[in-house]
Structure 1
Amino acid sequence: MAATNHERVGNALDLLRAGLGPFVEREIKAAMKDGTSIPSLQALASDPLIKDKPITDWDAALLLKVMWESWNEVFRKTLGPAERGLVGELRGHRNKWAHQEPFTSDDAYRALDSAGRLLTAVSAPQSRELERIKMELLRVRFDEQARNEKRKSAGTAIESQGTGSLKPWREVVSPHRDVASGRYQQAEFAADLWQVHIGEGADEYRKPVEFFRRTFLTDSLQQLLVGAVRRLSADGGDPVIQLQTNFGGGKTHSMLALYHLFSGATPSELLGVEGVMKQAGIAELPSVKRVVLVGNKISPGNPVKKEDGTLVHTLWGELAWQLGGRAAYDRIRADDEKATSPGDVLRDLFNEYGPALVLIDEWVAYARQLHDQSDLPAGSFETHFTFAQALTESAKLAKHCLLVVSLPASDTAGSPHTQADDVEVGGRRGREALDRLRNAIGRVESSWRPASAEEGFEIVRRRLFEPLIEQSQFVSRDTVAKAYFDLYRSQHQEFPQECRDSEYEGRLKAAYPIHPEVFDRLYTEWSTLVKFQRTRGVLRLMAAVIHSLWEKGDRNPLIQPANIPIDDPRVQFELTRYLSDNWTPIIEKDVDGPNSLPLRIDGEVPNLGKFSACRRIARTIYLGSAPGSTISNRGIEDRRIKLGCVMPSESPAIFGDALRRLSGAATYLYQDGARYWYSTQPTVTKLAEDRTEQLKSDPDRINRELDARLRADLRKQGDFTKVHPLPQSGQDVPDDVDARLVVLGADYPHSRDASSAAEAAAKSILETRGTAPRLYRNTLVFLAADKTRLQDLDEAVRRFIAWQSILDEKNELDLTPHQVRQAETQKASADSSVNARLPEAYQWLLVPHQPTPQSPIEWQSFRLSGQEPLAVRASRKLRNDELLITGLAATRLRLELDQVPLWRGDHVAVKQLVEDFARYLYLPRLRDTGVLLDAIREGLGLLTWGRDSFAYAESYDEAASRYRGLRCGQMVSLSPENLVGLLVKPEPALKQQDDETPRPTAGGAPTGGDPAKPNGDTSAITGEDSVTGRGEAQTPRQPRRFHGSVTLDAARVGRDASRVAEEVIAHLSGLMGANVRVTLEIEAEIPNGAPDNVVRTVTENSRTLKFNSQGFEED
């Protein structure tokens, strides 16, 4: 049954106890001999459960506690800050294990890795077993993911949309089988000289043929091998070589190359070795004794018993035994048992058993564990450096001996690799050991240079990919390289300057199918990390990347930073295992993954989603900035970001847009000018998000901001005479006769279901004003927010308030100028978002309606659209649907008077009519009283008022049954301030007018005519002839025809004709039976003659207007 993560951590703690016990005991005894006071041990002395127990029997928790508390007094001399950090971390893992807390696979691996590193630092043999447990956990973890994880949309490979003519890299070159299938183990990329020496490890490191087949012989490595061949075959070559690089710089790999070169394998079987021999001038390789000493695999406190029974105590004893077995060891047995330097005996051994190749790795890790006293089997600190000096001198003087020693790089002040040195060097004793060894070896050593970054391209390519062989493969590679180079040269302003140099095309070819930018980021930013180890780290990462892309069917021309699938668990593990902080949640949120921000933005913006632009941008920034997120010159420039993203036939502008969107929304993405970087510390964006979330508990503050924005928007009232924002009850809405818009608050949202809070609130306001019933109900319409969209508006308002509060507190928050600019930009964006979402939320127009006087009141709901001010948008909708009348025709007013009817007998008061239209929902909703008065004025001025409109009277005399001041077909002056008078039906008006019109008497005198003239002449009354005296009656004749002509101003015909129509024609047309004809006569004299175009236009228009006669004349 497979072990659980909890059990694996428990096994690791057991191994840690077994490995740390002897070391802790040894160091404490050495410190106590020096008289050092150890307070933590004095406190333990009184504990009955511990005081009589040997240190080697203490459990892991106590050992770690003692190391932590007595670090400065005891362990600081031997171990460094990195190991102290491991002790502290392991104490936490142990406590978590003891309290039965669960361990994820990542947590368990971290605990195992830390325990293994601490055991390796003290040269404990248990580190090998712990490494096996750690690799088993990795295999289980990856197999589990391969079985259970279904590929989601976020896990598909990102492909270019415009590189169809370029062959995908997978069709040109193939990965090695173990890489393509994912069967490789991470440990396979860690060259281990001791494992190879004892016959263990992967074939590619253990077998000489496989090793050289996958090894690229850089210039420095080739010169190292040439020198070794000359030294061990002839009299040339350097006797002592020091390999000094930073952690992971290729020292162990170089030693393995030397080890396999003299393995006895046929040179023709070793790729590249024949060239080495030719350059060295040697035809045949000699038989060489190989000695391997690895400091962290040999304990200075535990003698080693060999298979022949030999008990070896010191490093020189181990050297002699490997060189010549028991016979050679016997030559220095006394020095080994007494831990004294063998001196010149070493030279004799080299000459006797040579040619000899001595490889010493991790020497500092061994020497720093020695004490000032000779209380260890391996001797004292001082004696060891006497041996080192004797060894180098002996190797120099021996005939055919080569000593190769690897040491950590120098600790240069301000160097980014200082921390890496601490990992290999350790504490104060380790630093001192390094200096002493460097001084001892430096007098005779030869310099050696590690592989350059350009050589690293080929090292990685050869280890991960099958070689290019066919001519077609080279053609395809060169075509891709040229396409990329042409892109960088044609749009040089978008990319770094070095990309336009012709050398860059060569780099594209050399690194194929990996883009040089990937190597540049890994060999610069990532190689500064403590645990990355340069080429080893690049191999581990790129093996995971290539396996993932191969499995997903990636079809891009090159593997760029943007193509690295950070969402893949294996790749993500390699990109986070070297970083001190917990980057996994940052990656899942802001970089890559099914729920990441870049994927969401790509989904929301089709133009970006087509290219997966945001994901590609995020991946490139992470690869280029994560390792350096804590240094001063942080980040990656925008041009270099595009270099990592853009492919041929793609527009860099698309990725610029994606970068702007991502930087504005991401929580952990920082920007300073043109530089961008991810950090584990949330940006000011995160602070804004937190405040946005906190504002959910402060609805009053949100409502105040929303109220202010609503009131500001409602200053533009549209066609409404008044707008009432956010009333608390009907008491806040006056009972007037003009149309008004009532905007309900956010507490009353509308939904189409029966439980609409908005509709309930609108009904209450419509029916009552305070405690009294509302009279003028046909004046109100209501605007309410959508229940669903209101949530979006609420979020936008909270976000705006959050950014505003950050700017208000910028001094207290100690914001940088960059963060202030970012906050200002985000505040403006949030403000725009609120302005956009306000009309989206307030989209429901609720209108009360009553089809007939007998029908119940119904509620119509209309969904509004557009970005106009709320009241303007609402009034436009009502006006278009004739639910708000801004202009009423006289004929329609007459129709409403007759249809309802609104007449009170034969007339209706104007004021009553105003109130009727404001009261009754089955009547048209008028904007204001002025609309009704305009209709009345229009009706009174109609020539056809008898059929289509009405008459007007000042009042009605009940006693006389007649209308006072009756006016028919005449304009009347009315105003909202003076609503007097009556509208009269045409029939009674015409009757009264006819009744009161004077008629002639039987004798011809009109009834009601003029009295007798003063001078006594009655002829005008009686009709008698004043001469004859005959009494024949004569009827006075009324005028029956009118004619008139007037000259109009040709420049203002419309104005003058209108006045004639109102002042003359209207009066004549209003007479019963009158037949009025109006003729317009036009006469024009044109001294210079009329142009053809004018003649043509006037003639055609005259015909269209049906002139009776028209024409132009020459004279």
Structure 2
Amino acid sequence: MSLKPWREIARPHKDVLEGTFKQSEFAADISQVASGNATAEYQDAEKFFSRTFITEGMRLLLISVAQRLAGQGGDPVIQLQTAFGGGKTHTMLSVFHLASRKVSTDKLTGVPPLLDEAGIHDLPSAKVAVIDGIKLSPSQPQQHGSVSANTLWGELAWQLLGEEGYAMVAQSDADGTSPGKEVVRQLVEKAAPCVILIDELVAFVRQLEIGKQFNAGTFDSNISFIQALTEAMKSVPNAILLASLPESELEVGGTMGQRALESLEKYFARVESVWKPVASNEAFEIVRRRLFEFAGERAEVEGISRQFSDFYRANSDKFPLETQSNVYFDRLCQSYPVHPEVFDRLYEDWSTLDKFQRTRGVLQYMAIVIHRLWNSDNKDALIMPGSIALDDSNVRNKSIHYLPQGWEPVLEKEVDGPRSEPVSIDGHDTRFGSVQAARRAMRTIFLGSAPSNAEQGVKGVNQEHILLGCVQPGQTIGVFEDVLKRLRDRLHYLYSEQDRYYLDTRPNLRREMESRKHHIQDRDELLPLLKDRVNRVFGRNHCFGGIHVFTPSGDVPDDYASGPRLVVLPPSAAHSRGESNQAYEAAEEILRNRGEQPRQKQNRLIFFAADYDVVSRLKEAGRIYLAWRSIVTDVNDGKLDLTVSLSKQAKRNMDAAEQSLNQVIREAYKWILCPVEEFVKGKPQLEWESVAVSPASQNLVAEIENKLKEEEWLISEWSPIHLRNTLQRWYLKEGVTEVGALKVLQDSCRYLYLPRLVNDQVFKNAIIAGLTSEDYFGFASGKDGDRYLGFTFGNGSMLMLDDSSLLIEREAAIDYRERTKPAPQPEVLDPTGDGVTDTGNGGTGPTGGGTTNPAPEIPTSSIGQNVQSVAKKQFYGAIELDPLRAKMDFATIVDEVIQQFTAKVGVEVTISIDIQAHAQDGFDEALQRTIKENCSVLRFNSSEFEE
């Protein structure tokens, strides 16, 4: 189905089309209807009901009135209390026409089903009295022939029963005193069935100053009458009272008005049934029925609405969540040809303005808008916020009528008009001009943000609702998104905070910010800012030996650090997937060289780079933040004079720009670049591997560490099998059976084809784990000729690495152990006769016990007796070593003493080392720091310096 314009489907009422309506006609006046002087649409009951949508509240009220008049129940007193323009008077008119019965009920649209529901087949005609608090005066009596009614009760008596009724209260009317409940009851009972309608009661009572006597009585006498009237209504079964009380402060009117309202509410509350006429979801039909003679065939309306609904669902990420349900489709149908967003903005935002009456204000405003659109041959599928022709003088005047002073130039320059900026933008870009994107967007922003006030926590309209208010099916959403950015950058009165936009009568600071932004120096201002902010992202707790942000190659250390170094490349060296990768080129320069010298420890460097596609946004975010920061600095220093509000706004914008900068930094810096070497034809060839980290991770440095470990570019735990394979591939081959352990560790820091270890402890742990079995390699603390010092194989223990430490090929270690195994000692008889014992240190008794002492001499007199020796279960040894020979001496002790114990099954060995050093002049800070770090790495239980 084609997207037909609304004007080809719906038809407004004649007075709307011709513009012959009067604004006053939208304000129903019940006293004019009672006197017969109202316009036909309100005076004629049949016309009135044909244009009236019976809401749920009105339906229940009319049923209650009908039941009451027929003597079948119903509420005796009903209070109508709604906000300004909420439909109180309109509701009273419906009761007036129903009760007066000047037109048969079968001709009143919507009434017969109500009477059927109430079970009433013959509704009696009732007397109707109308008291209009605005029309009556406390000092001016109402003249009815020879009768002058001074008070409310005098006027009520005359309207119900004429001279007969007035005679019942004549004395009270003359004195200005309340006639009392019994007199009022008799009056109402005699007039029944009857309806009493009191409109704007507070407007009358608030004129009665406390302590003063008026022709209409005193404040207290009027309150007493209302009390008597409400009580009397309960006792007359076919009489009903409807009174309207205001809800808004605007209608209450000052201290006396508030006091009058409180007093009246207290008495009405005893017998009333409070009714609030118009629900928000019923407003659509009220306005549509009043403004449109014909809203379109159902099939066509549903077809247009379905296209809009499908468009919103197909682009769910661009429009508000509520547009995705069938409920919104129903709203589109109910409000056609007006878009629901128009009603939402008018009822939710504009109705908060003091001068804007809810239903009445919407009717007045939309009548002018529809008249203008009809005459300008508007082709929109729906009347949307973006359709409202604010360039028309009548529409513009009605729009700013409800707003504070100062909006006229804003509308002319920045919203709609022949010389406005949006018209210029649409005129210079065909993408925008073909759909009037700039004008429609600004109209939508105006409708949604002009009624904003200082008390609102969040100002403006978010982008989703702007798009909802101006984009139609078949149009490109991106065009409107682009035009919002253009408008944000060029308009003086448009404010933008994140994705929210709003207009204000005060010029914004964006132009000042834009001017300053263009003067930011990249090298002197932007790059230092980005370096500082990127540095903050990483924190201090990490496994790296250092994190170097935007550091030249000469300043990146070339050492055996306690961990690999992470080099963060500047924005100019961004990573891209294209053929030319600036990140790889910059990283290779740092990898190969340290300044003008070749770099030795290349395998200690890992690189981190920004994404090429985000770098431009990163620089822009940095410039915007610097510009806002300079504005705030100038305000604080007194160099820039701004109002308090604008100063706070500048600070908010700076904070928002800072937050945006931090966000873009996380989005930009996400690429880990790892150099590796593969041998091609016997020569190492540099290759780069890259992986992205998630910008959403809470801890960036932890995420980088995890990625490095996942990709096995950084090893924190190394299995001895991998160490053995590395030794066999690169070192223990072609007859070589041993290699320096420290050389292997240092080579792993140099060559990119070797594993990259987190620190030397990973290497030591791999050696210790490998020495616990005989499957991998052997170890020696040093070598003296053909003899290994501190030889260890198949028995892991604590070790220290230095220039003498050796890793020994497995078969060579086995061969060495066999060659150096002590010769077996001859066995001798056990003197006790229980078995044999080995006279060597490593012998065992028959029970498999530990080392035994040589058999002592046994006295001849004891031969043949059972002699049991005491077992020695503990050994303690202490020795002082020459510090200069400690390494060699300790290796000898391990070979000659400790290994004798560890070679035995079931023997537990504990070794403690006590080190004491004393310097007459004290230890310098560098030495203390070095000792403490080494002791920490070696896991000393305690290490302290003392005075």
* TM-score for the superposition, normalised by structure 1: 0.47
Check the 8 A contact 2:73/2:237 in 1, yes or no. Answer: no
CA distance in structure 2 between the aligned counterparts of 1:347 and 1:557, rounded to whole angstroms? 59
Q: 1:526-575, CA deviations, whole angstroms, 9 ceiling, x for partnerless residues?
A: 11111211110111111111111110111111111110111112211221
Matched, 1:394 2:271: no
Check the 8 A contact 2:77/2:271 in 1, yes or no. Answer: yes
Structure 1 gap segments, 5+ residues each:
1-163, 410-420, 693-701, 710-798, 827-1115
Distance 1:331 1:825, change over 3 A: same
Paired residue for 2:259?
432
Amino acid at match of 2:205: A
Match of 2:387 among 555, 563, 571: 563
Match of 1:278 among 112, 116, 127: 116
Check the 8 A contact 1:208/1:263 in 2, yes or no. Answer: no
Paired residue for 1:528?
352
Q: 1:860-910, CA deviations, whole angstroms, 9 ceiling, x for partnerless residues?
A: xxxxxxxxxxxxxxxxxxxxxxxxxxxxxxxxxxxxxxxxxxxxxxxxxxx
Amino acid at match of 1:215: T
Q: 1:63-93, CA deviations, whole angstroms, 9 ceiling, x for partnerless residues?
A: xxxxxxxxxxxxxxxxxxxxxxxxxxxxxxx
Kindly report which structure 2 residues correspond to 1:890-1039, keeping only aligned pairs within 5 A, or say none.
none
Kindly report which structure 2 residues correspond to 1:298-377, keeping only aligned pairs within 5 A, or say none.
298-306=136-144, 308-343=145-180, 344-377=182-215
Match of 2:470 among 645, 652, 663: 645
Corresponding residue SS for 1:195: helix
CA distance in structure 2 between the aligned counterparts of 1:246 and 1:385, rounded to whole angstroms? 23
Corresponding residue SS for 2:483: helix
Q: 1:757-812, CA deviations, whole angstroms, 9 ceiling, x for partnerless residues?
A: xxxxxxxxxxxxxxxxxxxxxxxxxxxxxxxxxxxxxxxxxx99999974652434
Corresponding residue SS for 1:676: strand
Paired residue for 1:189?
26
CA distance in structure 2 between the aligned counterparts of 1:687 and 1:285, rounded to whole angstroms? 72
Corresponding residue SS for 1:466: strand
- Kindly state the Cα deviation for residue 688 of structure 1 after the two structures are TM-superposed: 7.4
Higher strand share: 2
CA distance in structure 2 between the aligned counterparts of 1:376 and 1:214, rounded to whole angstroms? 42
Q: 1:970-1018, CA deviations, whole angstroms, 9 ceiling, x for partnerless residues?
A: xxxxxxxxxxxxxxxxxxxxxxxxxxxxxxxxxxxxxxxxxxxxxxxxx
Amino acid at match of 1:519: F
Check the 8 A contact 1:240/1:402 in 2, yes or no. Answer: yes
Paired residue for 2:7?
170
Paired residue for 2:654?
820
Paired residue for 1:491?
315
CA distance in structure 1 between the aligned counterparts of 2:362 and 2:659, rounded to whole angstroms? 39
- Kindly state the Cα deviation for residue 266 of structure 1 after the two structures are TM-superposed: 0.8
Paired residue for 2:63?
226
Corresponding residue SS for 2:507: coil
Distance 1:611 1:559, change over 3 A: same
Structure 2 gap segments, 5+ residues each:
523-623, 661-947
- Kindly state the Cα deviation for residue 621 of structure 1 after the two structures are TM-superposed: 0.7
Check the 8 A contact 2:12/2:293 in 1, yes or no. Answer: yes
Kindly report which structure 2 residues correspond to 1:438-457, keeping only aligned pairs within 5 A, or say none.
438-457=265-284
Matched, 1:198 2:198: no
Corresponding residue SS for 2:424: helix
- Kindly state the Cα deviation for residue 640 of structure 1 after the two structures are TM-superposed: 0.7
CA distance in structure 2 between the aligned counterparts of 1:822 and 1:659, rounded to whole angstroms? 19
CA distance in structure 1 between the aligned counterparts of 2:24 and 2:44, rounded to whole angstroms? 16
Amino acid at match of 1:248: G
CA distance in structure 1 between the aligned counterparts of 2:96 and 2:217, rounded to whole angstroms? 28
- Kindly state the Cα deviation for residue 581 of structure 1 after the two structures are TM-superposed: 2.6
Match of 1:537 among 330, 351, 361: 361
Check the 8 A contact 2:57/2:276 in 1, yes or no. Answer: yes
Corresponding residue SS for 1:508: helix
Check the 8 A contact 2:628/2:653 in 1, yes or no. Answer: no
Paired residue for 2:337?
513
- Kindly state the Cα deviation for residue 822 of structure 1 after the two structures are TM-superposed: 8.8
Check the 8 A contact 1:487/1:648 in 2, yes or no. Answer: yes
CA distance in structure 2 between the aligned counterparts of 1:267 and 1:660, rounded to whole angstroms? 59
Check the 8 A contact 2:233/2:241 in 1, yes or no. Answer: yes
CA distance in structure 2 between the aligned counterparts of 1:573 and 1:214, rounded to whole angstroms? 27
Amino acid at match of 1:197: A
Matched, 1:620 2:414: no
Check the 8 A contact 1:807/1:824 in 2, yes or no. Answer: no
CA distance in structure 2 between the aligned counterparts of 1:804 and 1:222, rounded to whole angstroms? 61
Corresponding residue SS for 1:244: strand
In terms of Rg, which structure is larger? 1
- Kindly state the Cα deviation for residue 631 of structure 1 after the two structures are TM-superposed: 3.0
Indicate the larger mover: 519-528 or 624-633. Answer: 624-633
Paired residue for 2:823?
none
Check the 8 A contact 1:810/1:820 in 2, yes or no. Answer: no
CA distance in structure 2 between the aligned counterparts of 1:800 and 1:276, rounded to whole angstroms? 65
Higher helix share: 1
Paired residue for 1:609?
433
CA distance in structure 1 between the aligned counterparts of 2:444 and 2:455, rounded to whole angstroms? 18
Distance 1:591 1:353, change over 3 A: same
Corresponding residue SS for 2:196: strand
- Kindly state the Cα deviation for residue 468 of structure 1 after the two structures are TM-superposed: 4.6
CA distance in structure 2 between the aligned counterparts of 1:803 and 1:661, rounded to whole angstroms? 19
- Kindly state the Cα deviation for residue 606 of structure 1 after the two structures are TM-superposed: 2.0
CA distance in structure 1 between the aligned counterparts of 2:512 and 2:153, rounded to whole angstroms? 62
- Kindly state the Cα deviation for residue 629 of structure 1 after the two structures are TM-superposed: 3.9
Paired residue for 1:406?
244
Check the 8 A contact 1:672/1:818 in 2, yes or no. Answer: no
CA distance in structure 2 between the aligned counterparts of 1:279 and 1:374, rounded to whole angstroms? 50
Q: 1:658-681, CA deviations, whole angstroms, 9 ceiling, x for partnerless residues?
A: 111111211111122221111122
CA RMSD of aligned residues (A): 2.8
* TM-score for the superposition, normalised by structure 2: 0.55
- Kindly state the Cα deviation for residue 450 of structure 1 after the two structures are TM-superposed: 2.1
Paired residue for 1:253?
90
Matched, 1:500 2:324: yes
- Kindly state the Cα deviation for residue 617 of structure 1 after the two structures are TM-superposed: 0.6
Paired residue for 1:547?
371
Check the 8 A contact 1:348/1:398 in 2, yes or no. Answer: no
CA distance in structure 1 between the aligned counterparts of 2:493 and 2:31, rounded to whole angstroms? 43
- Kindly state the Cα deviation for residue 372 of structure 1 after the two structures are TM-superposed: 2.2
- Kindly state the Cα deviation for residue 818 of structure 1 after the two structures are TM-superposed: 3.9
Check the 8 A contact 1:684/1:819 in 2, yes or no. Answer: no
CA distance in structure 1 between the aligned counterparts of 2:308 and 2:125, rounded to whole angstroms? 50
Amino acid at match of 1:198: S
Matched, 1:585 2:397: no
CA distance in structure 2 between the aligned counterparts of 1:822 and 1:680, rounded to whole angstroms? 22
- Kindly state the Cα deviation for residue 686 of structure 1 after the two structures are TM-superposed: 6.7
CA distance in structure 2 between the aligned counterparts of 1:283 and 1:333, rounded to whole angstroms? 39
Q: 1:250-299, CA deviations, whole angstroms, 9 ceiling, x for partnerless residues?
A: 11110011011123211121111111211111112212111111111101
- Kindly state the Cα deviation for residue 503 of structure 1 after the two structures are TM-superposed: 1.0
Distance 1:824 1:181, change over 3 A: farther
Check the 8 A contact 1:339/1:378 in 2, yes or no. Answer: yes
Paired residue for 1:683?
508
Check the 8 A contact 1:300/1:314 in 2, yes or no. Answer: yes
Residues paired across the two proteins, number: 548
Amino acid at match of 2:336: Y
Matched, 1:663 2:488: yes
Check the 8 A contact 2:196/2:241 in 1, yes or no. Answer: yes
CA distance in structure 1 between the aligned counterparts of 2:466 and 2:100, rounded to whole angstroms? 47
Corresponding residue SS for 1:286: coil
- Kindly state the Cα deviation for residue 823 of structure 1 after the two structures are TM-superposed: 9.3
Amino acid at match of 2:225: F
Indicate the larger mover: 216-225 or 600-609. Answer: 600-609
CA distance in structure 1 between the aligned counterparts of 2:153 and 2:122, rounded to whole angstroms? 30
